[in-house]
Structure 1
Amino acid sequence: MRYGLCHVFLRHTSATLLMTENADPDVRRDLERWMVRAVPDGDPLFAHDAEGDDDMPAHVRNALVGCERTIPFADGRLLLGTWQGLYLWEARSTAHHRRVVVTLSGE
């Protein structure tokens, strides 16, 4: 395919796909610190804690950020902006095995 759309879908509810600045790693760290402050692990508001204190907060973080992105491509390259990057952001306290589905459509 010469041009079209790349759809990236994360098959999980406790991680996210984040599109943000790719030049300065402080951007991602700042976003993560903000999210942890906004939706803290162990918040007594949440009843769902079957897998630990970070269980429901991770689901809320996923709901806020999302689990899919669609990016145009041309000539074999994603048409990202100069500073953009796509990240699989783990919303849990510890790493987990994650699966991503990538679908290309176009001509």
Structure 2
Amino acid sequence: MYHAKQLTVSTQGRGFTDITRDVREVVEHSGLEQGLCTVFLHHTSASLVLSENADPDVRRDLEAFFARMVKDGDPLFVHDAEGPDDMPAHVRTVLTQSSLSIPVKNGAPDLGTWQGVYVWEHRTSPHRRRVTVSVVG
């Protein structure tokens, strides 16, 4: 059995958007009790992460680390067609991930106690991101 739904996620610019509830709803509507949920982001300047969902300082610290590691406007980068955050956003995406695999157990994503699913926007401007959530079992 296979079930999928495409989500549109509006980001506020660089930072994290929690999509855990949306992923849960797709899994619940699939009717599958056991299986695998795949979350896939269709973009090259944002990524998906499983991150702590209790303390927002964790996400703030991740953003601070990446800001130090991959600086906007770094003269190293040639690709800047859409501004100084263009190539840094692509590098951040390559260093993270565009898809997640989450086990399905008892009709729900089998996430850890403190895990949440996030779209991590790497551009400084707001964007609408396309995410496909598929469930097989």
* Runs of 5+ unmatched residues, structure 2: 1-31
1:1-107 superposed matches below 5 A: 1-106=32-137
Q: CA deviation at 1:73?
A: 1.1
Name the TM-score, length of structure 2 as normaliser.
Answer: 0.76
Q: CA deviation at 1:75?
A: 2.1
Q: CA deviation at 1:95?
A: 1.3
Q: CA deviation at 1:67?
A: 0.8
Partners of 1:41 and 1:76 in 2: CA distance: 42
* Runs of 5+ unmatched residues, structure 1: none
Q: Could you give the per-residue CA deviations for residues 15-45 of structure 1, whole angstroms, max 9, x where no partner exists?
A: 0101111110110011011101100110000
Partners of 2:56 and 2:108 in 1: CA distance: 23
- Over aligned residues, Cα RMSD in angstroms? 0.7
Q: Secondary structure at the match of 2:128?
A: coil
- The residue identity in structure 2 corresponding to 1:66 is Q
Q: Could you give the per-residue CA deviations for residues 46-75 of structure 1, whole angstroms, max 9, x where no partner exists?
A: 000000000000000000011110000122
After TM superposition, the runs of 4+ consecutive aligned structure 1 residues lying more than 3 A away are none
Q: Number of matched residues?
A: 106
Partners of 1:26 and 1:97 in 2: CA distance: 25
* Structure 1, 25-34 or 73-82: larger mean CA deviation: 73-82
